[in-house]
C-alpha cells in the first residue's frame, strides 16, 4: 500500500506533532529544491503553501487547541511556514536568473552577418586632396580665393606677361571662346584668380587659388584636358625667395610627411622672375631606392613651378609700390593625388566611376 503523495494530496498534520510538522517542511524543501523551472515551482505552491497544504491545515488546527498549547504550536507552525516560504523565494530568484540568462543566450545574433541598410557615399578624392591642401594653407594664415573658369583672356594671359606672341597662348594649348576676338578663354591656370585678388585687395595678400583649369590635351594615362591646380600668391613687404622656399617646404612636409622638403631649380615663366621648378623629395624612398617607381631613383619628384612675381604682373594688377614683393607657385592636384595615393591611370580620376571615389570615403 502506498502512502499519500505529499506533493499533491492534502495530508493532515497535527499541529501538536512536531515530527509531523518537520516532515512537512522537509518534504516542501525537497520539492522546492527539485523544481527545475519557474513553472514547476509555481505548481508546487498549492501543495506546500496553499490552503490545503499540511502546514496550512496545521495552522488552522491551532485555533482548536487549548490556550496552554496554542502559543507553542503557533510558534512551531509559524516557523515552519516561514522556512518553506523563504525556500520558495530563494528558489524563485535562482530560477529567474537562470531564465534571464537563457533568454540572453537565445537572443544572441550573428553580428558578423553583413546588413546594409544605407548606401555609403563618398567625396571625390580630387575634392578631398583640394580640401586638405586648403586646410594646410589656411592653418598658415592664408585665405582661399576662387574665380570663374570661363575667363577673360587679358586676365589669363596679358596680365601675366604672356603677350600675344607667347607660345603658351597658342591654339594647341588653350580653349578659345567663339567668336574670334571674344577675349574669353577657358582659364589655362588659376593665375587669373591671383590677378583678380590683387586688383580687389591691397597687400598684404596671402592666398591659395585652387580650381579647375583647361588645356587642349588629349586624355591619356597621365594627362587630362580638364584638371585641377592650386596656385599660391603672397605679396607683402620684404617677401623673398626664402619665404617661397619656406612656404613650399612647410606645405610638402604637411602633405607628404614630416621632414620632406623641396628643391628649387632655375627655370623660366613669364609671370615670375626669378623662376624655379619645384622638386619634392621622394617620400617613398627618400632617394635610397634606385628603382623607386615614384621618383625613378632620383630621390626627387617634379611637382610644379614657382618664382618671384614679375613686376610687370604686379603693375598690371595695380601694385606699383616697390616696397612690395611677392612670390607665386603652382602645383597640380591630380599629380599630388596620383603620387600620394598611387593612382596609376588618369582615366580613373576623370571618368566618374563610383568605384573610384568609393575607395577614398570622406577623408584622405
Closer residue to another protein in complex, CB, 59/275? 275
**Looking only at residues 294 through 313 of this chain, which bind Zn ion when binding is defined by CB under 5 A?**
294-295
Q: Is 47 in the site for Zn ion (CB under 5 A)?
A: no
Nearer to Zn ion, 10 or 286 (CB): 286
Q: Using the 8-state DSSP alphabet, how is residue 216 labeled?
A: -
Which partner, Zn ion, another protein, none, binds residue 115 by CB below 5 to 8 Å per kind?
another protein
CB of 3 or CB of 141, closer to another protein = 141
The neighbour count for residue 42, using CB atoms within 10 Å, is 13
Beta bridge partners of 213: 227
Cell representation of residue 48: 506546500
What are phi and psi for residue 275, nearest 5 degrees? Answer: -120, 160
221 binds, among another protein, Zn ion, none (CB under 5 to 8 A by kind): none
Query: CB 286 → another protein: shortest distance, Å?
Result: 17
Binding segment for Zn ion among 96-104, 180-188, 270-278, 290-298 (CB under 5 A)?
290-298
Distance of CA 172 to the CA centre of its chain: 43
Closest contact distance (angstroms) between CB of 57 and another protein is 55
The residues near 219 (Cβ < 8 Å, ≥ 6 apart) are: 225, 346, 347, 350
Q: Which three cell numbers mark 155?
A: 586676365
Residue 174 φ/ψ region, left for φ over 0, alpha for ψ in the -120 to 50 degree band, beta for the rest:
beta
Tell me the C-alpha to C-alpha distance, in Å, between residue 212 and each of 232, 332, 335: 15, 10, 13
CA–CA separation, 261 vs 259, rounded Å? 6
Q: Which of 307, 354, 5, 43 is nearest to 160 (CA)?
A: 307
Q: Which does 329 bind (CB under 5 to 8 A by kind): another protein, Zn ion, none?
A: none
Q: What is the closest distance, in whole angstroms, from the C-beta atom of residue 287 to another protein in the complex?
A: 14
Nearer to another protein, 66 or 266 (CB): 266
Q: Which does 154 bind (CB under 5 to 8 A by kind): another protein, Zn ion, none?
A: another protein
Smallest separation, CB 336 to Zn ion (Å): 16
Torsion of CA 157, 162, 165, 166, to 10 degrees: -110
* Binding track over 264-283 against Zn ion, x by CB under 5 A: ------------------x-
- Minimum distance from CB of 231 to another protein (Å)? 16
Nearer to Zn ion, 152 or 303 (CB): 303
Tell me: does residue 292 bind Zn ion (CB under 5 A). yes
Among another protein, Zn ion, none, the one that 285 touches (CB under a kind-dependent 5 to 8 A) is Zn ion
Is the CB of residue 232 less than 8 Å from the CB of residue 208? yes
**Closest separation between CB of residue 75 and another protein, Å?**
54
Answer with the entry of another protein, Zn ion, none that 284 interacts with (C-beta below 5 to 8 A by kind). Answer: Zn ion
Q: Which does 15 bind (CB under 5 to 8 A by kind): Zn ion, another protein, none?
A: none
How many Å apart are CA 364 and CA 110, to the nearest integer?
A: 32
In angstroms, how far is CA 173 from the centroid of its own chain?
A: 40
Indicate the residue among 95 and 314 with the shorter CB distance to another protein: 314
- Nearest to another protein of 76, 169 (CB atom): 169
User: Pick from 168, 189, 208: which is nearest to 327 by CA?
Assistant: 208
Residue numbers at the binding site for Zn ion (CB under 5 A) = 282, 284-285, 292, 294-295
Amino acid at each position: 500500500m502506498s502512502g499519500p503523495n505529499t506533493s499533491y494530496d492534502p495530508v493532515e498534520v497535527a499541529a501538536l506533532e512536531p515530527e509531523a510538522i518537520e516532515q512537512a517542511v522537509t518534504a516542501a524543501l525537497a520539492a522546492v529544491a527539485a523544481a527545475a523551472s519557474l513553472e514547476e515551482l509555481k505548481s508546487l505552491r498549492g501543495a506546500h503553501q496553499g490552503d490545503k497544504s499540511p502546514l496550512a491545515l496545521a495552522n488552522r488546527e491551532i485555533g482548536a487547541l487549548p490556550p496552554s498549547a496554542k502559543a507553542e504550536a503557533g510558534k512551531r507552525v509559524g516557523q515552519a511556514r516561514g522556512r518553506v516560504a523563504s525556500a520558495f523565494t530563494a528558489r524563485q530568484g535562482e530560477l529567474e536568473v537562470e531564465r534571464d540568462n537563457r533568454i540572453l543566450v537565445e537572443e544572441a545574433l550573428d553580428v558578423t552577418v553583413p546588413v546594409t541598410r544605407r548606401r555609403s557615399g563618398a567625396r571625390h578624392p580630387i575634392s578631398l586632396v583640394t580640401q586638405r591642401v586648403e586646410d594646410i594653407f589656411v592653418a598658415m594664415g592664408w585665405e582661399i580665393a576662387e574665380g570663374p573658369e570661363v575667363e577673360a583672356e587679358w586676365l589669363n594671359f596679358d596680365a601675366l606677361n604672356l603677350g600675344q606672341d607667347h607660345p603658351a597662348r597658342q591654339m594647341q594649348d588653350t580653349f578659345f571662346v567663339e567668336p574670334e576676338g571674344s577675349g574669353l578663354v577657358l582659364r589655362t591656370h588659376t593665375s587669373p584668380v591671383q590677378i583678380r585678388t590683387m586688383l580687389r585687395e591691397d597687400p598684404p595678400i596671402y592666398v591659395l587659388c585652387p580650381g579647375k583649369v583647361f588645356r587642349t590635351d588629349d586624355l591619356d594615362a597621365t594627362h587630362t584636358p580638364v584638371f585641377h591646380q592650386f596656385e599660391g600668391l603672397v605679396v607683402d613687404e620684404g617677401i623673398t625667395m626664402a619665404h617661397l622656399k619656406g612656404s613650399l617646404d612647410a606645405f610638402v612636409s604637411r602633405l607628404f610627411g614630416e621632414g620632406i622638403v623641396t628643391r628649387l631649380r632655375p627655370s623660366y615663366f613669364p609671370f615670375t622672375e626669378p623662376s624655379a621648378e619645384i622638386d619634392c623629395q621622394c617620400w617613398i624612398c627618400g632617394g635610397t631606392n634606385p628603382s623607386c617607381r615614384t621618383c625613378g631613383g632620383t630621390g626627387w619628384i617634379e611637382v610644379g613651378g614657382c618664382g618671384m612675381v614679375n613686376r610687370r604682373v604686379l603693375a598690371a594688377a595695380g601694385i606699383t609700390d616697390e616696397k612690395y614683393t611677392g612670390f607665386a607657385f603652382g602645383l597640380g592636384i591630380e599629380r599630388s593625388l596620383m603620387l600620394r595615393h598611387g593612382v596609376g591611370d588618369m582615366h580613373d580620376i576623370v571618368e566618374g566611376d563610383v568605384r573610384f571615389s568609393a575607395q577614398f570615403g570622406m577623408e584622405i
